[in-house]
């Protein structure tokens, strides 16, 4: 979709609304100005479509990440792409989460529009900083001087006291980090201690995750606290106040909540917290909503173009990306002169201008981009099957410069509006995927022609050689088409893709003889499934129809009902297929 750092909160419509509850009452809905009570509604429930990509800190796709929007779930494919249709969200609020084992949970909030809403989430690696022991006071520090001091009391997610080793994973996200907008959870919108809505500017964020010896999540024990010491960014040392509110990110609600404060001690902020997720040293400020529209010299809207806002006295912009109408909106400081920059796909600044001071919600005059360093163009074509029929359930991914863009297909057709950078012979790549037929195009390189690059037909005719798929209730079908392993040893048969609990799917059994079996012989553990075994009340039937030699296929189908692991009152249906190549 990046100094005291100010966020231009990215939305895909004219109005910015942020915040989330578990029912139909949402906070902050009719007061986007960063003040007032958080008691109004975000509108009625609506169905919206989403297409997005999950990447790591190096921009590489993260496959098999679990996506949740409202009550609808999905999973990313080998390109890190997910498509979720008809998700139940609110008219002015959608909260998207991405989770995968080995990464810190990621999220994004947005105002959903009709059509396909584009989302990009970057995940931090969950890497242990230090291993400490429960029952002993310990200090865990980063090289910057940021640290946490624990008193040694921990508990598990059920509130039971924990004794043993504790793996502490810490990440200090600095305001000067140019990936801040991609890495932080949600947006910088918050509820203060009086229940009022506030917009924030950050002086640094700290993510802390605690894991036990078996990988279970831990927290500070009830009634205990930990001290956090956060290094102040060098760019903020001259302006950082002596006292600043502390805010934690609520992973269920999707916004920040004020809880205490931190005091400046030299070049650090020091505070006390009673639990861990993300913690933020933030200053609330008055804001207005500002919308920016971009077009090319011919009056065409510029979509997928980065727009940055720089506050007076700061160096780094907060980055947003225009929607299909060439528009980006967000909260900006009231009554201040701001600098607006436009950045092309190669990272070059191709426009700079000023806006404000603004005292009320404003849509600025349209900005026309006419810069020889970045030529607007449209890339269009059709994604078709092996039989030359239009693909109706799939997407095309484009790589250009330092950026990746994803477009869904509409009855086979797709298009990208972008800025060409890199000279007259600039190239880009396209890759298409057909979900219905499990076919892909492979990555193909093209050269831009202006003003339109028509690539004709992309043929998705490279068959996915093996896959695992399943559907729970009426949720979208989950596909695994990469990272598949199928093995048989004297201990039994195992079929998996990223087969570690919430990160993928794992099917195992005690036989390799074709036939129909129950959970006496087979078990399943996977994303969205939980654990289905002999101990789970279920009617699931497994049909092992073929068991080939090494290099040949194993075919297994399964279907039936099972009881939810977390709620015995809920029963789910499941149907699935495994068509996999035996590895050994």
Question: Looking at the domain assignment, is residue 260 inside a domain?
Answer: no
Domain for residue 205, yes or no?
no
Cα separation, 100 vs 176, in Å, equals: 27
Q: Check which CATH number belongs to the domain holding 414 and give it.
A: 2.60.40.10
The predicted structure's pLDDT at residue 269: 95
Q: Per-residue pLDDT for 528 more than 70?
A: yes
Q: From CA 248, how far away is CA 281, in angstroms rounded?
A: 9
What average pLDDT does range 145-168 have in this prediction? 95
Higher pLDDT, 163 or 515: 163
Domain co-membership, 472 together with 436? no
Q: How many domains are there within the chain?
A: 2
Segment 105-124 shows an average pLDDT of: 84
**How does pLDDT run across 198-256, given as a tens digit for each residue?**
777 788 899 999 999 988 999 999 999 999 999 998 888 888 889 999 999 999 888 88
DSSP 357-369: --SS-EEPPPEEE
Alpha carbons 559 and 541: distance in angstroms, whole number? 6
In a domain, 565, yes or no: yes
Cis peptide upstream of residue 357 (ω within 30 degrees of 0) = yes
Given 438, 463, 488, the domain boundary residue is: 463
pLDDT at 38 over 60: no
Handedness of CA 442, 443, 447, 450 (dihedral sign): positive
- End-to-end CA separation in angstroms for the chain: 43
Residue with tokens 């959870």: 185
Q: Would you say 455 and 379 are in contact if contact means Cβ atoms under 8 Å apart?
A: yes
What percent of the chain is predicted at pLDDT more than 70?
89
Nearest to 189 by CA among 247, 271, 274: 247
Query: For 309-338, what is each residue's pLDDT tens digit?
Result: 887 766 667 777 787 788 887 767 788 899
The predicted structure's pLDDT at residue 15: 26
Same domain, 456 and 478: no
> Residue 139: inside a domain, yes or no?
no
Give residue 22's pLDDT band: very low, low, confident or very high (50, 70, 90). Answer: very low
Q: Which two tokens stand for residue 428?
A: 């880009």
Residue 420 and residue 474 in one domain: no
Last residue of a domain, one of 415, 434, 463: 463
- The verdict on 456 and 473 lying in the same domain is no
Check residue 316 and give its pLDDT: 64
Same domain, yes or no: 447 and 486: no
d(CA 198, CA 473): 39
> Is residue 284's pLDDT more than 90?
no
Are 474 and 562 part of one and the same domain?
yes
Task: Note the pLDDT tens digit of each residue in 451-460.
Answer: 888 888 888 8
* pLDDT of 449 over the 80 cut: no
Which residues neighbour 58 within 8 Å (Cβ) at sequence distance 6 or greater? none
- Is residue 479 domain-shared with residue 562, that is, in the same domain? yes
Q: Do 544 and 560 reside in the same domain of the chain?
A: yes
Within-domain flag for 402: yes
Q: Based on the domain organization, do 385 and 474 belong to the same domain?
A: no
Which residues, listed in sequence order, are joined to residue 84 by a DSSP beta bridge? 50
Neighbours of 476 (CB within 10 A): 19
Same domain, 413 and 425: yes
Q: Does the pLDDT value for residue 164 go beyond 90?
A: yes
Q: Which of 13-17, 434-438, 535-539 has the highest mean pLDDT?
A: 535-539
Residue 534's pLDDT band, with cuts at 50, 70 and 90, is: very high
Mean pLDDT over the full length of the chain:
82
In a domain, 132, yes or no: no
Q: Are 381 and 453 contained in the same domain?
A: yes
Instruction: Tell whether 576 is covered by a domain.
Output: yes
User: Is the pLDDT confidence value at 92 over 90?
Assistant: no
Residue 529 φ then ψ, to 5°: -90, -40
Q: What is the mean pLDDT of residues 84-113?
A: 87
CB-based contact 141:170 (threshold 8 Å): no
Contact 94/113 with Cβ under 8 angstroms?
Answer: no
Residues 416 and 428 in one domain: yes
Question: pLDDT tens across 120-155, in order?
Answer: 899 998 889 999 999 999 999 998 899 999 999 999
Contact 561, 473 (CB under 8 A): no
Lowest mean pLDDT among 124-138, 190-204, 341-355: 190-204
- Mean pLDDT of the region 480-489: 83
Question: Which residues span the domain enclosing 542?
Answer: 467-581
- Residues 370-404 have pLDDT tens digits of 887 778 888 889 999 888 899 998 899 888 877 78
Tokens of 413: 């057709």
Residue 542 lies in a domain: yes
- Whole-angstrom Cα distance, residue 16 to residue 19? 10
- In the DSSP assignment, the letter for residue 188 is S
Alpha carbon distance 229, 149 (integer Å): 8
Rounded to two decimals, the pTM is: 0.65
| Sheet of strand 413-420, all strands in order from the earlier edge strand to the far edge | 413-420, 375-384, 452-459
Task: State both tokens at 61.
Answer: 């796709």
């Amino acid at each position: 979709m990046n100094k005291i750092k100010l966020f231009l909160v990215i939305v895909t419509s004219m109005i910015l609304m942020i915040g989330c509850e578990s029912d139909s009452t949402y906070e902050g809905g009719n007061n986007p100005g960063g003040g007032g009570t958080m008691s109004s509604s975000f509108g009625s429930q609506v169905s919206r479509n989403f297409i997005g990509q999950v990447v790591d800190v190096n921009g590489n796709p993260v496959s098999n990440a679990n996506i949740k929007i409202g009550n609808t779930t999905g999973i990313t494919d080998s390109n890190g792409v997910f498509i979720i249709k008809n998700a139940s969200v609110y008219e002015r609020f959608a909260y998207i989460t991405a989770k995968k084992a080995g990464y810190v949970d990621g999220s994004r909030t947005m105002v959903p529009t009709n059509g396909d809403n584009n989302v990009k989430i970057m995940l931090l690696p969950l890497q242990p900083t230090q291993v400490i022991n429960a029952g002993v006071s310990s200090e865990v520090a980063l090289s910057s001087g940021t640290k946490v001091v624990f008193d040694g009391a921990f508990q598990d997610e059920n509130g039971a006291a924990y004794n043993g080793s504790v793996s502490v994973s810490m990440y200090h996200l600095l305001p000067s980090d140019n990936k801040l907008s991609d890495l932080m959870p949600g947006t910088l919108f918050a509820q203060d201690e009086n229940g009022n809505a506030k917009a924030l500017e950050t002086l640094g964020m700290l993510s802390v995750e605690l894991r036990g010896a078996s990988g279970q999540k831990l927290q500070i024990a009830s009634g205990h606290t930990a001290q956090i010491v956060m290094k102040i960014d060098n760019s903020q040392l001259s302006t950082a106040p002596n006292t600043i509110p502390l805010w934690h990110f609520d992973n269920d609600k999707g916004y920040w909540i004020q809880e205490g404060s931190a005091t400046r001690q030299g070049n650090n902020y020091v505070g006390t917290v009673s639990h861990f997720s993300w913690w933020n040293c933030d200053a609330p400020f008055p804001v207005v909503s500002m919308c920016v529209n971009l077009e090319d010299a011919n009056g065409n809207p510029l979509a997928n173009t980065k727009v940055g806002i720089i506050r007076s006295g700061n160096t780094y912009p907060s980055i947003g990306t225009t929607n299909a109408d060439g528009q980006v909106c967000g909260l900006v400081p009231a009554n201040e002169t701001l600098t607006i920059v436009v950045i092309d796909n190669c990272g070059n600044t191709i426009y700079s201008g000023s806006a404000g001071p603004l005292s009320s919600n404003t849509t600025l005059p349209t900005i026309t981009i006419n810069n020889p360093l970045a030529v607007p163009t449209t890339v269009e074509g059709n994604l078709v099957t092996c039989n030359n029929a239009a693909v109706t359930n799939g997407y095309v991914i484009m790589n250009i410069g330092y950026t990746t863009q994803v477009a869904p297909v509409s009855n086979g057709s797709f298009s990208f509006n972008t800025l060409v950078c890199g000279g007259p012979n600039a190239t880009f790549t396209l890759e298409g995927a057909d979900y219905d037929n499990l076919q892909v195009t492979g990555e193909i390189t093209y050269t831009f022609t202006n003003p339109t690059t028509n690539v004709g037909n992309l043929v998705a005719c490279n068959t996915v050689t093996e896959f695992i798929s399943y559907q729970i209730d009426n949720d979208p079908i989950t596909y695994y088409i990469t990272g598949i392993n199928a093995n048989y040893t004297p201990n039994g048969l195992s079929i998996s893709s990223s087969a570690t609990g919430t990160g993928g799917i794992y099917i195992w059994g005690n036989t390799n003889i074709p036939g129909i079996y129950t959970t006496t012989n087979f078990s399943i553990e996977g994303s969205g499934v939980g654990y289905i075994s002999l101990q789970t009340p279920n009617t699931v039937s497994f049909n092992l129809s073929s068991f080939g030699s090494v290099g040949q296929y194993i075919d297994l189908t399964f279907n039936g009902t099972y009881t939810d692991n977390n709620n015995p009152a809920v029963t789910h249906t499941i149907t699935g297929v495994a068509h996999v190549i035996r590895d050994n």
